[in-house]
Chains A and B, each alone.
Chain A
Amino acid sequence: MLVTEILSSLLLIAGAIFFLAGTVGLLRFPDVYTRLHALTKADNVGLGLVVAGLVLQAESWTVAGKLLLIWLLVLLASASIAHLVAKAARKKGIELWK
């Protein structure tokens, strides 16, 4: 019991660090493409770690399955939306940051 709790806490903290890094990247990176990079990569891994941490504490398999489903859906949505935002930005003619 204790081992899973420690492992779960470590995963949650690691996830929070990824979220923090993604947010800092969103705020500090110079243009829309690099911001997208920071946001989607970091948030996907961050959410994955948080979900993994929560799955360890889940009461039943259904809860664990729902949590994993949330992660998969967010992966799908955020990857697609990052692509769409980047495409719209290219179409609008926003230059790449050098």
Chain B
Amino acid sequence: MTLLQLMFDTLLGFSLLWLAWQALTSPDLFRAIVLFIAFGLLMALTWIRLDAPDVAMAEASIGAGLTGALLLSALARLGSKNGSRAILEKKHQAGSMTENTKNQLPFRLLLMVLLLAVAAGLVYVVLTLPENIPGLGILVEENLESSGVSNPVTAVLLNYRGYDTLLELSVLLLTLLGVWSLGDMTKQHESFPGPVLSTLSRLLVPLLIMAAGYLLWVGAHAPGGAFQAGSLLGAAGVLLLLAGWRPGTRLAGLPLRISLVLGVAAFVAAGMVFILLGRQFLEYPPSFAGVLILLIEAAATLSIGITLAALFLGGRPKFSQPKFSRPKLNQPKSSQPKFRRHK
């Protein structure tokens, strides 16, 4: 490692710590979110420095991009920026009151003991790790041929430890169910966002879909895969929602639900079929593995993208049976592009 690299890494590490601290302690929630997004981008750069481009892509798109967008939309729901600050200040005052502090003391002590126990456990584990262990990397490389793909990360995610990815997909689905159980989407009406955002979304969304397809395909032999591709699709969905598009009410019922569960369903189905054929759950025969992984990933990409976009939508989209009138077009006539000049 050259001196320049060492300087860069040191700077990166300290910037990460500083950003994390600032994001946690900032009383202004908007500022905290912006700092969190900056933290995510620097974290992605850190993963690149650690030679983990797959994780870097996921971190940049999900960690910084989509989580940031979700946090910002949550903040918008909290009310104005000042409103959220007022909430925070109120809490702060409440926290500083002596009576409350006394009531909380046992809990705080318990929390401290638990945190210290976790920290001590981590330190113990790190100290007792044997040095110079090769890890599982060699095992992965030896069995790469039978996994059906040549990218070791995809091999681990979709083949060797397929059930981890299956559970991750389920967690994503459960999150959406949790959000949906909180209530319906607040407003359904579409709006025209102005010519700039409209043009931007029209230019970027096809590109994002193409890039998602590319990442999905390339995941078999290079960095990429379902989560990265799915988050790009999700980003396209968020952009469309920001640009004022809303899913048609006709699509909000069964079609939406089917596309949401498609990933988990394809994964489970692929696993089950081989149980019937006398193999283990998710144990693919090497000759089919490549095709199967691509199919599962394609289904998962679609589901992840739609789930993320649905999370951004914030509530369960209302479903109505198509009646006599045609479903609304994507742009109401009354709000055609008007190049209005603000005075």
- Does B203 lie within 8 Å of A84, measured CB to CB? no
A91 to B204, CA, bound (A): 25
- Does A84 lie within 8 Å of B197, measured CB to CB? yes
- Does B200 lie within 8 Å of A87, measured CB to CB? no
- Does A77 lie within 8 Å of B200, measured CB to CB? yes
Q: Which residues 59-98 in A have Cβ within 8 Å of B in the complex?
A: 73, 76-77, 80, 83-84, 87, 90-91
**Number of contacts between A and B (CB, 8 Å)?**
18
CB distance from B68 to the nearest CB of A (A): 14
State the majority secondary structure of interface residues on A. helix
Q: Which residue of A lies closest to B207 (CB)?
A: A73
A73 to B196, CA, bound (A): 15
> Interface residue count for A (Cβ, 8 Å)?
9
Residue in B199, B200, B207 whose Cβ sees the most chain A Cβ within 10 Å = B200
Is B27 in the interface zone, CB < 8 Å from A?
Answer: no
A76 to B200, CA, bound (A): 8
Contact with A along B34-59 (1 / 0, CB 8 A): 00000000000000000000000000
Chain B residues near A73 (CB, 8 Å)?
Answer: 207
Chain B residues near A87 (CB, 8 Å)?
Answer: 194, 196, 342
CB distance from A16 to the nearest CB of B (A): 14
- Does B342 lie within 8 Å of A91, measured CB to CB? yes
- Does A80 lie within 8 Å of B342, measured CB to CB? no
Q: Which residues 38-71 in A have Cβ within 8 Å of B in the complex?
A: none
- 16 other A-B residue contacts (CB within 8 Å) besides A83-B196, A87-B342: A73-B207, A76-B200, A76-B203, A76-B204, A77-B200, A77-B204, A80-B196, A80-B197, A80-B199, A80-B200, A84-B196, A84-B197, A87-B194, A87-B196, A90-B342, A91-B342
Q: Could you name 6 residue pairs across A and B whose Cβ atoms are closer than 8 Å?
A: A73-B207, A77-B204, A80-B199, A80-B200, A84-B196, A87-B196
